[in-house]
Amino acid sequence: MNIQEQRCVLVVEDDIYMESIFKKIIHSIDPTLKVLWATSADEAQAVVQSRTPDSFKLIIADYHLKGPRTGYDFWRGCRHHFPSIAFAFVSSVTPEKYLKMMEYYQTCPKFIRKPFQSDQCRSILADLIKEERHVV
């Protein structure tokens, strides 16, 4: 990791009203983390490519984003190119539908259903942020 780069969490969400909620939750877990925001998969990809992968503690993405590429498309690219970055999805679909959408993968990102309770979201994100990920 570049010494200049602060550890960060990237949130990919097209609902701008969620920005302050995620910032508050993330800073309650670790106030030193920088929260980066993208509203599309293309914008998120540009953010990821502009930093070293080690600078990311976590990426949180809405499964369904507006535009030609979804959060799912973005995750597939990250999974291939940056497997060491922890990932979580947020979506309003039911947990059952999420599992059905991800059935072809041995492992899938943690899932946070919207609307969520802040404590529940915080618990899931805290586990992911504190987890040290190593890819073999």
Rounded CA-CA distance 20/114 in Å is 15
pTM: 0.91
CB neighbours of residue 129 within 10 Å: 18
Conformational region of residue 106, where left means phi above 0, alpha means psi within -120 to 50, and beta covers everything else? alpha
Question: What is the maximum alpha-carbon separation in the chain?
Answer: 42
| Percent of the chain with pLDDT strictly greater than 90 | 79
Residue 111 has pLDDT above 50, yes or no: yes
Residue 11 has pLDDT above 90, yes or no: yes
Compute CA 54 distance to the chain's CA centroid, rounded to the nearest angstrom. Answer: 14
Q: Which domains does the chain possess?
A: 8-130 (3.40.50.2300)
Cβ–Cβ under 8 Å, residues 56 and 10? yes
